[in-house]
Amino acid sequence: MNILFAGDIVGKPGRRAVEALCAGIKERYAIDLFIANGENAAGGSGITTDMVWQLHSFGVDVITMGDHVWRQKDILNVIDEDRRLIRPANFPPGTPGAGSTVVEVPGRGKVGVINVLGRVLMFRLPLDCPFRAAEKELEEIRKETKIIIVDVHAEATSEKLAFGRFLDGRVSAVVGTHTHVLTADEVVLEGGTAYITDCGMTGPFRSILGRQIEPVLKSFVTRMPAYFKVAKEDVRLTGVVLEIDEETGKACRIERIQVRLEDEREAIAEGQEQ
């Protein structure tokens, strides 16, 4: 089974990249399931109900989230309805939505997806332990399938690497998100778990992590508050393609991909909405 995992979708340019590039990438890599992190889909922060359905209609099967999950309150209208949208599992008990899901890939079997949020350099108020939260979700999912993909949404490379080692041999892949920068450390670990520290960003690359360069730069240099608008140029879809053995649930291969939206002017021209 081939699974595409795309890094954080940023604003309208990111959504446009998914729309324009999805079919071609799916065909080229014979993709059976498409997972993407959607925490920055709405103007760079959060996601709305409309955008959830829009991304599904573009071909994203499962949407994972991160620290920006509650930035758009509208997500509360969809997160309990849509089983293909998940939020980090290590929020307190009673939080809306679910931290994992199991989806059926026609003709191929079931795939479990887990989302967790790191605690190092992420929040002033730390969440529950992501390691134990992942283990708890894992126990349930393993009753249904051996194919399990984990999105570890975290800042610190050490925490993500630890996560990969912690789950090696117990899940098919541990894919890092959140930093928006694709790392070059993809590997299939000894136990058969594919791992990458960060699978990058789906959005505008002439930017600082997807936001317009000038205000971010000004904020760093002057330490004055600034509004960070989503950038528009050099739009790319970045992620990894995972090849998983359906019988064992182990990974055979992990490959980094980055595809540029050729007709980027079209993405730039589409109005103010981000």
Binding site for Fe ion (CB under 5 A): 8, 40, 66-67, 178
Question: Please, what is the angle between helix 130-141 and helix 157-167, to 10°?
Answer: 30
Please state the closest distance from residue 95 (CB atom) to Fe ion, in A: 17
Three-state DSSP class for 17?
Answer: helix
Specify the residue, 183 or 245, whose C-beta has the smaller distance to Fe ion: 183
Strands 109-117 and 62-64: unpaired
Specify the residue, 46 or 112, whose C-beta has the smaller distance to Fe ion: 46
The answer to whether 68 is a known catalytic residue is yes
Specify the residue, 141 or 175, whose C-beta has the smaller distance to Fe ion: 175
Per-state percent for the chain, helix, strand, coil, to nearest 5:
25, 30, 45
The catalytic residue among 68, 153, 178, 180 is 68
Please state the closest distance from residue 65 (CB atom) to Fe ion, in A: 9
Specify the residue, 40 or 101, whose C-beta has the smaller distance to Fe ion: 40
- Of 10, 106, 100, the C-alpha closest to 64 is 100
- Rounded to 5 degrees, φ, ψ at 43 are 55, 25
- Rounded to 5 degrees, φ, ψ at 107 are 80, -5
Please give the Cα distance from 111 to 105 (Å, whole number): 7
Please state the closest distance from residue 258 (CB atom) to Fe ion, in A: 17
3-state secondary structure labels for all residues of 211-222:
ECHHHHHHHHHH
Question: Please, what is the angle between helix 11-28 and helix 49-58, to 10°?
Answer: 20
Please give the Cα distance from 80 to 99 (Å, whole number): 11
Burial class (CB in 10 A: 0-12, 13-18, 19+), 202: buried
Please state the closest distance from residue 246 (CB atom) to Fe ion, in A: 30
Please state the closest distance from residue 151 (CB atom) to Fe ion, in A: 11
Specify the residue, 22 or 154, whose C-beta has the smaller distance to Fe ion: 154
Q: Which residues are catalytic?
A: 68
